[in-house]
Amino acid sequence: MNESKNSVLKNPTEQMLDESTMTSFDHVIINANIATFSVQHGFGIETSDNVDNQADSNPYGQLHHAAIGIKNGKIAWVGTQDQITAHLPKYQASQITDVNDKWITPGLIDCHTHIVYGGNRSNEFEARLQGVSYQDIAAQGGGIVATVIATRAASIESLFAQSEKRLLALIKEGVTSIEIKSGYGLDLDTERKMLTVARQLGEKYDIHVSTTYLAAHALPPEYKNRADDYIKQVCEWLPILHSEGLVDAVDGFCENIAFSTEQIRRVFEVARSLDLPVKLHSEQLSDIGGSALVAEYKGLSSDHLEHLSEEDIKKMAASNTVAVILPGAFYTLRDTKLPPIEALRKHQVPMAISTDCNPGTSPLTSLLLTMNMGCTLFYLTPEEVLAGSTVYAAQALGLSNKGKVEVGCDADLALWDIARPADLAYQIGLNPVQGIMVQGQWRDTI
């Protein structure tokens, strides 16, 4: 812990230290250690690039003996404990949270999930343990299509109840924002049902939900050998669901066992016409050029990426597309091909990590375990996996006001009983969360 860092950081809110400002917050968090993930506090600054920067490079953008002022659900001030101490008598006790040197991070963000689905596929898990491959199961009518049948059959209430458990497991580990995909409906009504449940989950639990239209996930049985006809439908459904306020982004599965780049391009064209951002399941099982396509459309993220080439990494770097790394699917499928982490670092492609929670390849509802897997399986650093669950996960969802402890950002925070940020990636199975704050409000129970 380098406690001298605070004194060398230029506090961007220094000019705001007058009495009226410092006594105007709705709430203050005091005696905190903070992993800010904010460039303003030195996160992500290379020492060699630092000539003109005001802040030194500082792992996690960490601050010690620090405090946060919150107003109207936003972070209004971040500074040292000394700066706020004299003003505390002006606050009521209920407006102050003394965290006693515990750690605050941005609320965690799970940026790639399929948590809304019906049924489960533990039978396939057993078959895979007997040596049947994921591709073979899909070819035999199992896999994604099995979940499609169960999801179509579920009532909206049942789908909500089945999915809610998964969301709660994530929230209990500090998640305050989540992306939820459709893609187990593959017909208009069921895609609508999934996206509606995703919106309902966000409303009931009052956390941020980004919805993603993933009808180009698999070929439904009724379109067997008619993939182009199905893509035509996918393109026609998108404007309908978008007009109903159900779609924040558009995704597809670009793979030999799913859709070609040309088919995905047709979906992306519709997305572009609606001003919707795109992302893609790319290079999971083979390299057929999905990430290059995402980069061409200046997509938010390209996800999975085990088979990604350096040439396409350069294209992602140029389009500022986030690489979303999904260790849960790698682990569950016993994959052996590692994603090209070193090349992604070399070309400074921002990396996010996510559970990819889904019933087939990643039945995983722990973002903390995902962080540990990212380090152990892919040699990511604890700082990288935490940044990948906060600031870069926010970027993967186009949420520039989340994922950082920085003035102007949403006051979405998590409080942890840990000695240092790396503990979040190091400990397996212990949940050190002490509370979450969403838009400036602590949750009573999580």
User: Which residues sit at the interface with Fe ion, rule CB under 5 A?
Assistant: 356
Distance CA 379, CA 11 (A): 33
Whether residue 162 contacts residue 84, with contact meaning beta carbons closer than 8 Å, is answered with: no
Label the pairing between strands 103-106 and 301-304: unpaired
Q: Is 284 in the site for ligand NIG (CB under 6 A)?
A: yes
Selected range binding ligand NIG among 139-147, 294-302, 384-392, 421-429, rule: CB under 6 A: 139-147
Comparison of 187 and 417: residue with beta carbon closer to ligand NIG: 187
What is the per-residue binding string for ligand NIG in 251-270, x denoting contact by CB under 6 A? --x-----------------
Selected range binding ligand NIG among 63-71, 359-367, 392-400, 425-433, rule: CB under 6 A: 359-367
User: Considering CB distances under 5 to 8 angstroms, the limit depending on partner class, which of ligand NIG, Fe ion, none binds residue 284?
Assistant: ligand NIG
CB of 156 to ligand NIG, least distance (A): 20
Report the residue from 282, 361, 370, 389 that binds ligand NIG according to the rule CB under 6 A: 361
Selected range binding ligand NIG among 3-11, 189-197, 244-252, 356-364, rule: CB under 6 A: 356-364
Distance CA 277, CA 112 (A): 14
User: Considering CB distances under 5 to 8 angstroms, the limit depending on partner class, which of Fe ion, ligand NIG, none binds residue 143?
Assistant: ligand NIG
Q: Tell me the two tokens of residue 114.
A: 């399929």
Q: Is 306 in the site for ligand NIG (CB under 6 A)?
A: no
Q: Is 329 in the site for ligand NIG (CB under 6 A)?
A: yes
User: Considering CB distances under 5 to 8 angstroms, the limit depending on partner class, which of Fe ion, ligand NIG, none binds residue 329?
Assistant: ligand NIG
Say which amino acid occupies 420.
R
User: What DSSP state is assigned to residue 404?
Assistant: S
Provide the H-helix boundaries in 206-258: 227-243
Q: Where are the beta strands (DSSP E) in 240-383?
A: 249-252, 279-282, 301-304, 322-325, 351-353
Whether residue 407 contacts residue 76, with contact meaning beta carbons closer than 8 Å, is answered with: yes
Comparison of 19 and 126: residue with beta carbon closer to ligand NIG: 126
Q: Is 281 in the site for ligand NIG (CB under 6 A)?
A: yes
Q: Tell me the two tokens of residue 224.
A: 């067997």
User: What DSSP state is assigned to residue 59?
Assistant: G
Q: Is 358 in the site for ligand NIG (CB under 6 A)?
A: yes
Q: Is 143 in the site for ligand NIG (CB under 6 A)?
A: yes
Is residue 110 helix, strand or coil?
strand
Selected range binding ligand NIG among 232-240, 314-322, 357-365, 392-400, rule: CB under 6 A: 357-365
* C-alpha distance from residue 312 to each of 241, 281, 344, 345 (Å): 31, 14, 10, 14
> Looking at the DSSP assignment, which residues form a beta bridge with residue 259?
254
Which residue minimizes CB distance to ligand NIG? 360
Distance CA 268, CA 278 (A): 7
Selected range binding ligand NIG among 59-67, 74-82, 140-148, 312-320, rule: CB under 6 A: 140-148
CB of 96 to Fe ion, least distance (A): 42
Comparison of 354 and 390: residue with beta carbon closer to Fe ion: 354
Nearest alpha carbon to residue 369 among 181, 180, 174, 205? 174
Label the pairing between strands 103-106 and 413-416: antiparallel
Distance CA 212, CA 180 (A): 6
Q: Is 297 in the site for ligand NIG (CB under 6 A)?
A: no
Whether residue 56 contacts residue 45, with contact meaning beta carbons closer than 8 Å, is answered with: yes
* Number of DSSP helices (H) and strands (E) in the chain, helices first: 18, 16
Comparison of 356 and 384: residue with beta carbon closer to Fe ion: 356
Contacts with ligand NIG by CB under 6 A lie at: 143-144, 147, 253, 281, 284, 329, 356, 358-362
